[in-house]
Amino acid sequence: CPSTTECYTDSPFTAGSVANPLQVGLLGEYSLRYFHSYHKEDNGNTIPFSNAEGLEVEYLLHGKKSDYENLAAQVTALLAVREAMNFIHIVCDTEKRQEVENFVTSFLAATANPIVIAVFSIFVIGIWAFAQALLDVKHLLNDERVPLMHGEDSWDLGLSKLLDFSSLLSGESEKKERHGFSYTDYLRAFLFTKGLLHQDKINNAMLYCMEKNIRTTVSEKEASFQMKQCLYYLSTDAGIESRHSLYHRGFLDMIGVNPGDSRYRFTLHSDYKYKNLSH
């Protein structure tokens, strides 16, 4: 990840922490297109134009010092989202909720206290939701898809398999067609959510990545490049004034005619900016 020795306090981007959703969405799409993120296997479609191979999008979201830390933070965030959605799914599914109550009652039959049974049922639902979330994240890291809200077809883990969950998690997942959101789609959602609150922090992290890539990974490297000294766009206006080379006002003055201004003026305008060779 980029060095943390430089700190840009004044971001050149117009989208700050109060950016409108359209700006945040566009910057998120820009990040996914021009910065690298985790993929199980990289190919020509996953390597950005900069040729960077670090987990840059994860760095934009979490700002850790290593790829491992950024990926760990992203996995933790995914687990939190998936556990919450799985918890809602179980609570809303009458069959699964009844299965949990039967499971808890079989252990607490001696008490027969409905309050105790209800508390332990919530506890079991939380464990079940988290276990399924682990499988969900495993699918996402394998470049598979996971729906935002599970249905019966996409739910992998039965309550009876919780005791043997470790072998299920470490083994090969069942190969089947999965629908829903990919890992990149979840990154898009995280970028949008964080951008609504802290787009300025994402922008500054983008500066670090751009500076690092221009120094080290692009085809035409500039080892001494510094973003704070970068001139992206230059506009000049030159005002030129001259006399007409074949025009003389002496004769007109002699006969009392005002010839007006014998000079002519014009302005030259020129713009320059870096070419975008990524298209």
Rg, Å, the chain Cα set: 31
Query: pLDDT band at 32, cuts 50/70/90?
Result: very high
3-state DSSP call for residue 267? strand
- Average the pLDDT over each of 92-106, 107-121, 139-153, 205-219 and give the range with the smallest value: 107-121
Nearest-angstrom CA–CA distance, 256 and 221: 68
SS (H, E, C) 15-30: CCCCCCHHHHHHHHHH
Domain boundaries, the chain: 21-216, 228-273
In this structure, are residues 32 and 182 in contact, taking their beta carbons and an 8 Å threshold? Answer: no
Tens of pLDDT, residue by residue over 149-188, are: 998 888 988 888 887 777 667 766 666 677 899 999 999 9
Name the pTM for this structure: 0.75
Beta strands in 7-165 (DSSP E): none
Q: Which residue has the higher pLDDT, 33 or 227?
A: 33
Nearest-angstrom CA–CA distance, 100 and 82: 19
Burial of 27 (0-12, 13-18, 19+ CB in 10 A): buried
